[in-house]
Chains A and B, each alone.
Chain A
Amino acid sequence: MVTEQDVTNAVVELLRKTVVRLPQDVEDALRKAYASETDEVPKMQLKAIVDNIDMAIKGNTPMCQDTGVTIFYAALPKDCKVDVGKGIVEGVRKATKEVPLRPNAVHPVTRKNPGDNVGEKMPYINWRIHDKDYIEITVMTKGAGSENMSQLAMLTPSQGLKGIKEFVLNAVLRAGSNPCPPTILGVGIGGSSDIAMKLAKEALLRPINERHKDPEMAKLETELLEAINMLGIGPMGLGGKTTCLGLNIEYAYCHTASLPVGLNVQCWAGRRGTVRIHPDGKLAYPTHER
């Protein structure tokens, strides 16, 4: 039987893998961008990024010092008896010491840092029940430089599709060099204010080389990405062809009088990882098997 300790150990390993190595789709996109830049300055920025990816893997070291705050998505089998939440919290505490992760989580007002990335509602866990027999835990280690550029717009329905495009383009222009471009953008359309932001973040869980299954949304993803890459902000905002590596949209139906749009900005280090804990205790890391 799977125990809380098993969850903790799986989470420590998951966090290690996640902060050390990027998912294949993101790594591929960065190498492709490096090959495509011709000017000296953007080429050098992407070379530093690609070299850094290789060095992090070789040394089993976090690729970026900002190991973020830990946002979890947990899917449990219907008959789950183990306290997965407790296991995750302990896993974060242990990984902070062992990987190590930077102690980033602080009290929002006093700014006091407990030193272990654990505090009120942090790690933050999104829960769901699925019809599988295994526990699936996904983590995003979200750095602040990019997260700070995220935005919500409560548009009016009359602003429509143009309003959505306008909002995303302006947010990218306003973010400029700050979120460590080339970025990955998650756009959440519809729902309500909180749902749009939640969808924007969840959009970042999909590989960037997969388009939305709804052709209209897929078209919008491609169109926005192409337009953003015409801006010439470039890697680290120093100019160049690659401003955005990928853009994913998720949507939900919304009130007839609303059009909420959320944008979640992710730096080039689009770190996400998943572990599956099977009933026999076997572990699989689908994002990190290659």
Chain B
Amino acid sequence: MPKRIKTPISEADARALKVGETIYVDGIVLTGRDEVHIHALEYLEKGKQIPVEFKGAALFHCGPIMKKVGEKWVAVAAGPTTSSRMNSLEPGFIEKFRPGAIIGKGGMSQPTVDAMKEFGCVYLAFTGGAAVLAAKGIKSVEGVEWFELGMPEAIWILNCDNFGPLTVAIDAHGNSLFADVNVKVKENEKKARARLGLS
């Protein structure tokens, strides 16, 4: 049985996860992409109140499609967005806010891997584009903050049950599946170049 992990995620919880493991997440997951990172760091600097708790949070790089049914929001499609866009912001975000997990796709660069190791956070890869599968793991939408940033950029507070499958792609010990793949790709590049008649 794949592991299940409940939010908020403590540093010890995060450090117990190993790269390559498949896990599912239960509890509150917060969406946040480019604008949320920029705003949160700006608010902190100016001492302004941030409407959600990022400590121990599972922060999901996601800009969902939401639909209002009566008074309630429903997640229609909610897959991950490209995490590398947040490469320059994430190390600072992890240091300042101490989330327990970042959920996204495509992986993140070395400074984020280092920050995850230092502060006890993991990167969980969800299959890009598998947005209906993701929405299935979202039981209800508890609320939305910073809605003025637009539907994709707002913070959506998602109540999740068995959200996944997620692959631990960067753990809190400095290991990264993406980095491992890159080493192999570098090696394979020689064969590909030979196939194309390139030196």
| Chain A residues within 8 Å of B, Cβ to Cβ | 41, 44-45, 48-49, 51-52, 55-56, 59, 61-67, 100-104, 106, 113, 115, 143-145, 148, 162, 165-166, 169, 173, 176-180, 223-224, 226-228, 230-239, 267-269
Contacts and interface: CB of A to CB of B under 8 A. Distances in A.
B105 to A, nearest CB: 6
Contacts of B127: 44-45, 48-49, 52, 235-236
Given A65-B78, A238-B169, 13 more contacts: A49-B127, A52-B132, A52-B133, A55-B132, A61-B132, A62-B76, A64-B77, A145-B106, A169-B198, A178-B106, A180-B106, A232-B181, A238-B178
A62 B65 contact: yes
Interface in B149-196: 150-152, 165, 167, 169, 177-178, 180-182, 184-185, 188-189, 191-193, 195-196
A227 B82 contact: no
Contacts, number: 170
Interface centre among B63, B136, B196 (most CB of A within 10 A): B196
Given A44-B165, A63-B131, A178 B77 contact: no
B132 A180 contact: no
B20 interface: yes
Nearest to B135: A61
A179 B83 CA distance: 11
B65 A101 contact: yes
Return the 5 tightest CB-CB contacts between A and B, nearest first: A180-B128, A48-B127, A113-B150, A65-B77, A52-B130
Interface of B: 20, 22, 62-65, 67, 76-79, 81-82, 84, 105-107, 125, 127-133, 135-136, 150-152, 165, 167, 169, 177-178, 180-182, 184-185, 188-189, 191-193, 195-198
A56 B63 CA distance: 18
A267 B107 CA distance: 16
B131 A52 contact: yes
Given A62-B77, A166-B198, A169-B196, A176 B182 contact: yes
